[in-house]
Chain A
Amino acid sequence: MKSRYVVGIFALFCLCACTGCWDNVELNDRHIVLDMGIDKGEGENYKVTYSIPDVAKLSGSESLGEEVKSTLSVESPTLARSIFEMEDRTQNTISLSHLKAVLLGKELMSNSRLFKMAMESLQENMEVGQGTYLLAVEGKAEEIVGAEHYENPIIGLYTMQYFNNEERASGSYEVQTLGEFIKSIQETGIGILPIITENKEEATLKIAGGTLIQDYQWAGLLTPEDMQAKLLLQGKVHRVPIVVQTKDNYYTYEMARENCEVYYTEEGEELSIEVNLATEGKLIEYGVELTEEEGRDVMLQAINHFVKEACYEQLTEGIKHAQSLNIDFLGISQDLYKKHPQLYKKYGPKWEQHLFEGARINIHVTSKIEGFGMV
């Protein structure tokens, strides 16, 4: 009998613990931040902009607030301190457990100490998921986080939906998450962040191109074409329309699949790199009727030739840009290390010093048109 009482009291004690003990917080007492912008502030401070959505308004319920979100900026020497200072100014506490996107200003990315500290702070914060998206801003992140975008008021939700939409063609940017970015910097010293820009007149947002980061330092801008070259090398381009022009007509070739193999051989004391790109796609827009009588096969061959040329040019330009910066953002040295560690031992140390700059990379492209015509 006595033991039953003991068990009963113990069970009640455990039940109390189930509420979360000292950590019990009502949802209404929290500001759930979905996106934030980090800029360099005065001196060696951060300027952190938190976008706080009105959750009631967002879900379509009645709310006392007028706006769907409010943005608050705070200058602080560390990110942790910025949360403390923010909480001084609001009735609720700040929760980063649902953070979807972090926007980084150019000035911040140009200061390696602040940038590195910010990334490490986000990684240390157990509330912030490793899958939080990172985006670069070619100005101040505060301006995009704080701006009113009627169609997409919450940048965090916008980026989440943007990147999660698998139907979207991929070819002008590379998705970057906190965990992947830190891993990339730690392993290779190089990371690329997609650039988000705002069209103030239309109040729309666009994600394209990339910001090149080397050892937590801004190292250059990558155009959407550079990004496409990188993605072509990785075999990640799909559904990208390539427009080619023959005598008097435009043809649109949609790249459905592509496969890129890189081969490394040693010729004497030189490393020879061969890039073999194979694409498959279909003509989705061609304007004229392609019948056998009108020399369809000849026309297809000509289109194929132009597609190959377009891909070749894109890869060549991307490689040239990487060589001019002397930063292997295409990941060729990493590929060499993973596939041929013995060759890497010999050429790897010289790679970043001078070898990459002058490396001869031969490109071979094959393309295949799978289908065309009305169904």
Chain B
Amino acid sequence: MFSHNGRISARQVTILLLIDLLNMGILILPRICTLYGGRNGYLLPILAIPLGILYLYSITRVINHFKGATFYEITRKITTKVGAWVLTCLLVFKLVLGMGLELRLFGELITKVMLPTTPLAVILLLLLLSASYLAKSGLEATARLGEVMAYFIFIPLFIILGILAVQSDYEQVMPLFQIENSRIIEGIGSVSLWFMPIELLFIIGGLMREPKEAFRAGSISIILGGIIEAALVIFTLCAIGPTGTRQQIWPVLTLMRSLGGEQAKIEKQEILMITLWIFSTFVYIGSQLCSTSILLSRFCHYKRENVFVLPLVIIIYFIALWPVGLSTLYGIYLNFRYTLNLWFLLIIPLALWGLLKIRRVKDEK
């Protein structure tokens, strides 16, 4: 079924990025948006889209200059050998830490909602091993599974959005357009960091069948992701209210529980939300793990691209087990977002682009 030419289509990239974006945003974005924008926080994911496109532009300007290259080869050609090592190690560190924290968030959610007495370590291991099997099959297989999973993720999501659209009390988001300007700018900056998964294009962008399509694929993901996330923020605000959304670490969990609310015809509708969250985390970890393994293989000049999957699994597992509790995890997660994301979304891509122009590196296309 799976061929191993290691190339993926623009459509597959769009789906992978969109799933990754949703997975990152579903749990934490409603709270962040409400902290900055109050009852009009739903505007922030939409207003952050142009900034996301700017990040994407800066990344694709660099990767489009090279053919079939990943981040390591790109930095190697633009900077020095040491520079490439340092930057690649930083990116790998960031990806691995991100996966570990995301995995732990998944574990905490499952423990809280579905399996309270099952040890966290077992839950984490189950997902990680399943995702590692996917990652081991290669980038193409991961992307194809992403396409299949898209149905299982987006169909429940649209059913949920449909139910919420009907039962929401939209008065909660009134009055409209009442955010202070300073908070809007701060909020847009903070929310735009949520577009972090597009940095994956540094690795998979060069492995696309049509690398030129990377910008289009990324743009579609950013725009669709922004719109879906804005809708989720609106529905969270309507269901819980601005105060509740601000107070809770994961307001979406309460949103899930309000799905089966007053006069619901079907009980336990929240299972739809949990289903899509589990599948999206699976695809997220699988795609990130596979990409990181490819990057490390290129870095070490190994022919086999999945050779680093299992060693990475062990590291990610221990990172996921590291935070003591939920509040510690949340603090680490937010610090991680603010300190590392902007570097790989804007600063490093712009620096690489600048160097590319200054050093007049030959266009390989």
Interface residues of A (CB under 8 A from B): 7, 10, 14, 17, 20-23, 98, 123, 126, 128-131, 133, 163-164, 166, 175, 177, 179-180, 182-183, 186-187, 337-341
Is B118 part of the binding interface, using a Cβ–Cβ cutoff of 8 Å?
A: yes
Asked whether B262 lies within 8 Å of A163 as measured between CB atoms, the reply is yes
Roughly how many angstroms separate A183 CA and B258 CA in the complex, as a whole number?
12
Asked whether B115 lies within 8 Å of A179 as measured between CB atoms, the reply is no
Roughly how many angstroms separate A337 CA and B174 CA in the complex, as a whole number?
8
Asked whether B118 lies within 8 Å of A21 as measured between CB atoms, the reply is yes
Asked whether A131 lies within 8 Å of B261 as measured between CB atoms, the reply is yes
Q: Within the complex, which residue of B122, B244, B263 is in contact with A183, where a contact is CB–CB below 8 Å?
A: B244
Contacts of B178 in A (CB 8 A): 341
Q: List which B238-279 residues lie within 8 A (CB) of chain A.
A: 239-244, 247, 253-254, 257-258, 260-264, 267
Contacts of A187 in B (CB 8 A): 172, 241-243
| A2 smallest CB distance to B (angstroms) | 14
Contacts of A123 in B (CB 8 A): 254
Is B335 part of the binding interface, using a Cβ–Cβ cutoff of 8 Å?
A: no
- Known A131-B262, A163-B262, A186-B243; contact A23-B257, beta-carbon cutoff 8 A: no
Is B161 part of the binding interface, using a Cβ–Cβ cutoff of 8 Å?
A: no
Contacts of B240 in A (CB 8 A): 179, 183
Stretch at the interface among B26-34, B126-134, B144-152, B283-291: B126-134
Roughly how many angstroms separate A180 CA and B241 CA in the complex, as a whole number?
9
Contacts of B119 in A (CB 8 A): 22
Roughly how many angstroms separate A22 CA and B114 CA in the complex, as a whole number?
11
Asked whether B117 lies within 8 Å of A23 as measured between CB atoms, the reply is yes
Roughly how many angstroms separate A268 CA and B253 CA in the complex, as a whole number?
48
Asked whether A338 lies within 8 Å of B262 as measured between CB atoms, the reply is no
The 4 A-B pairs at the shortest CB distance, nearest first, are namely A131-B261, A130-B258, A338-B174, A186-B243
Q: Within the complex, which residue of B115, B129, B241 is in contact with A22, where a contact is CB–CB below 8 Å?
A: B115
| B327 smallest CB distance to A (angstroms) | 14
Q: Within the complex, which residue of B113, B171, B244 is in contact with A338, where a contact is CB–CB below 8 Å?
A: B171
Is B112 part of the binding interface, using a Cβ–Cβ cutoff of 8 Å?
A: yes
Roughly how many angstroms separate A179 CA and B178 CA in the complex, as a whole number?
25
Could you write out 21 A-B pairs with CB less than 8 Å apart?
A7-B133, A14-B126, A14-B130, A17-B126, A22-B118, A22-B119, A126-B257, A128-B257, A129-B260, A130-B257, A131-B257, A131-B261, A175-B262, A179-B239, A179-B240, A180-B262, A183-B239, A186-B241, A186-B247, A187-B241, A339-B175
Q: Within the complex, which residue of B112, B115, B133, B174 is in contact with A23, where a contact is CB–CB below 8 Å?
A: B115
How big is chain B's contact interface, by range? 35 or more
Judged by DSSP, the binding face of B is helix
Asked whether A22 lies within 8 Å of B257 as measured between CB atoms, the reply is no
Is B116 part of the binding interface, using a Cβ–Cβ cutoff of 8 Å?
A: yes
| B167 smallest CB distance to A (angstroms) | 10
Roughly how many angstroms separate A341 CA and B179 CA in the complex, as a whole number?
12
Contacts of A7 in B (CB 8 A): 133
Q: Within the complex, which residue of A20, A177, A182 is in contact with B261, where a contact is CB–CB below 8 Å?
A: A177
Asked whether A177 lies within 8 Å of B257 as measured between CB atoms, the reply is no
Q: Within the complex, which residue of A128, A175, A183 is in contact with B241, where a contact is CB–CB below 8 Å?
A: A183
Contacts of A166 in B (CB 8 A): 263
Contacts of B114 in A (CB 8 A): 23
Q: Within the complex, which residue of A175, A182, A341 is in contact with B244, where a contact is CB–CB below 8 Å?
A: A182
Contacts of B116 in A (CB 8 A): 23, 126
Roughly how many angstroms separate A98 CA and B260 CA in the complex, as a whole number?
11
Asked whether B175 lies within 8 Å of A130 as measured between CB atoms, the reply is no
- Known A163-B263, A338-B171; contact A10-B257, beta-carbon cutoff 8 A: no
Contacts of B241 in A (CB 8 A): 183, 186-187
| B262 smallest CB distance to A (angstroms) | 5
Contacts of A186 in B (CB 8 A): 241, 243-244, 247
Closest to B246 in A: A186
Asked whether B126 lies within 8 Å of A130 as measured between CB atoms, the reply is no
14 extra interface residue pairs, beta carbon distance < 8 Å, beyond A21-B122, A183-B244:
A7-B133, A20-B115, A23-B115, A23-B116, A126-B257, A129-B257, A130-B261, A131-B262, A131-B264, A133-B262, A163-B262, A179-B258, A182-B244, A338-B174
Closest to B123 in A: A21
Closest to A175 in B: B262
Roughly how many angstroms separate A137 CA and B293 CA in the complex, as a whole number?
62
Contacts of B257 in A (CB 8 A): 126, 128-131, 179
Contacts of A175 in B (CB 8 A): 262
Contacts of A339 in B (CB 8 A): 174-175
Closest to B263 in A: A164
